[in-house]
Amino acid sequence: MTTTKYFITGANLLGEKLSDITIEDGTITAVTDAAENPTAPEGFEHIDAAGLIALPGLVDPHVHLREPGREDAETVETGSRAAALGGFTAVLNMANSMPVADTAGVVEQVYQLGQDSGWTFVQPIGAVTVGLAGEQLSEMGAMADSRAKVRVFSDDGICVWDPAMMRRALEYVKAFDGVIAQHAQEPRLTEDAQMNEGDLSVKLGLPGWPAVAEEAIIARDVLLTQHTNSRLHVCHVSTKGSVEIIRWAKSQGINVTAEATPHHLMLTEELVETFDPVYKVNPPLRREEDVMALRDAVADGTIDVIGTDHAPHTAETKCCEWPYAAMGMTGLETMLPIVKAALIDTGKISWADFARIASYTPAKIGNLEHMFGQEIAAGANANLILVDPEVSYTVVPEEHASKGRNSPYRGKEVTGKVAYTFYMGHPVVADAQLNTPNTTSQARH
C-alpha cells in the first residue's frame, strides 16, 4: 500500500524557524514548532529533516521540454524527471515544439503527457502567432478554454516584432486574464548575431547582439501594455538598460513582470573566448556590470522571478563549430545551487526571498496559485521541497535526468541540493534521488 502520510521533523522553514510538518493525502495538515523529541503518529512515515531547509515547491515559468517533435533532445518524461530533481513541482513549457503549440490539440497533448508522467505539473504555454511566424494570431481563446487552461502565451525563441501584432495579442488575452511573455529581440538589429556586441565581439570576429536590441523591444512593449491596460511578462532579461526600463515601467503602474535566468546572474561574455558552444545562448551572456545590475534588480523586486530557460540540445546540434551551434543551456537541475551562489551566498536575498521569486510569484504569473506556490501552512497543497544547503558536489551533466548535456556548469563545484521533492504530497525525490512518480493524486486544473 502506498504511503500517503508523512511526518517531517526539524525542518528549517524558509531558513527562519525549525518546524515539524504533517502531510496527509496530498495536503499539509499541520505546521508546528519543532518538538524536542518528536514521535511520528501511527501510520505516518517519519522524515528527519534536521539540517534541511523547507521551501515551497519551485515553479519554473520558462522551460523547453521539446516534445512533440524533438524527442531526441528532451521529452516531457525526461524533462519532468529533471524538474523534480531540481525541486520544481510545476513548470511552464514553451510553445516552440514541432508542431508548434498554437492549437488546443497540441497544448492538450503536452498537458496530458505531464499528467501521465507524474513527476511534476507541466503547464503548456501557447504560441502568440500561428507557427511562431508573427503573421496571424493563434487560437489563444481555444487554448485558454482547453483542458490545459493556458494563460501564458509566447513565441519565445522569436520576438513578436510587429507592434500591431503585439498590440492585438495584448488586447486579446485580456478576455481571460492572460499574459504575453515576450522574447525581446529586435530582429533587424540581431541578424546573424553570435554573442554580445562590444569590444570582445570585435576582438573575436563574431557578429554582435547589441543590448539595444533587447531594450528597444521592452520599451515599446511596456508602452503598448500601458496603452492596452493588459499584462506583459519579459522573458530572460539580460542587460542593465533593460532593468532600468522595467523599473521605470513599474514606477508608472504598468502591469509588467520580468524574469532573469541563472546563467545571466552568474556567467559573463568572457567565457565566449573559449569558443565552447555550451556558452552560446539567446540572449547572449553579457558584461559583468549587466550581471551585477540583474542581481540588484532581483534583490529590489524589479525582476520578479527566476526562469531557467532550460533548453536541452543534442550533441549533433550543440557540439560543433560556434557559428553553427544551437543556442541554449540546460538549467533545471542546477538552478537552485547557482541562484544560491549568485544571490543568497552574496547576501542579496534570503531563503524567504528565494521562495517568493522561485515559487510564489511565478505561480501567480502562470495562474497556478490555486495549486502551487502556496505557503507551507495547514490547508495548503503539499508541494514542498527539503534542501540541504551545505552539501557540496561537482556538476556532472552525464548524471542528469535531462537528455541535454549542454550545461555551462560542467565540472563546477556547487553547494546546495534538493534532498526531497513532494509533489501533491508524494515524495517524487527522496534522499536526493528520483523515487517514484505521483500516479494517485495528480494536480489538475
Q: Is 313 within any annotated ligand binding site?
A: yes
Backbone CA torsion sign across 294, 297, 302, 305 = positive
DSSP string, 46-76: EEE-TT-EEEEPEEEEEE---TTT-TTT--H
Q: Is 310 within any annotated ligand binding site?
A: no
Question: Which one, of 68, 9, 69, 10, lies nearest residue 44 by Cα?
Answer: 9
Distance between CA atoms of residues 162 and 166, nearest Å: 6
Distance between CA atoms of residues 124 and 111, nearest Å: 6
CA 208 from chain centre, in angstroms, equals: 27
H/E stretch holding 330 reads none
- The C-alpha cell that represents 438 in the structure block: 505521483
Distance between CA atoms of residues 199 and 202, nearest Å: 5
- The C-alpha cell that represents 384 in the structure block: 514542498
Q: Is 65 within any annotated ligand binding site?
A: yes
Q: Is 93 within any annotated ligand binding site?
A: no
Q: Is 37 within any annotated ligand binding site?
A: no
CA 87 from chain centre, in angstroms, equals: 11
Q: Is 319 helix (H, G, I), strand (E, B) or coil?
A: coil
Q: Is 399 helix (H, G, I), strand (E, B) or coil?
A: helix
CA 419 from chain centre, in angstroms, equals: 19
Q: Is 33 within any annotated ligand binding site?
A: no
- The C-alpha cell that represents 24 in the structure block: 496527509
In the sheet where 58-63 sits, what is the strand order? 58-63, 88-93, 121-124
Q: Is 152 helix (H, G, I), strand (E, B) or coil?
A: strand
| Per annotation, catalytic residue among 309, 345, 353, 431 | 309
| 309: annotated active-site residue | yes
Q: At what angle do helices 211-228 and 240-251 cross, to 10 degrees?
A: 10
Q: Is 156 within any annotated ligand binding site?
A: yes
Distance between CA atoms of residues 235 and 377, nearest Å: 31
Question: Which one, of 118, 86, 140, lies nearest residue 395 by Cα?
Answer: 86
Catalytically active residues are: 309
Q: Which residues are annotated as a binding site?
A: 62, 64-66, 96, 156, 183, 236, 282, 309, 313
Binding residues for Zn(2+): 62, 64, 156, 183, 236, 309
Known binding-site positions for substrate: 64-66, 96, 282, 313
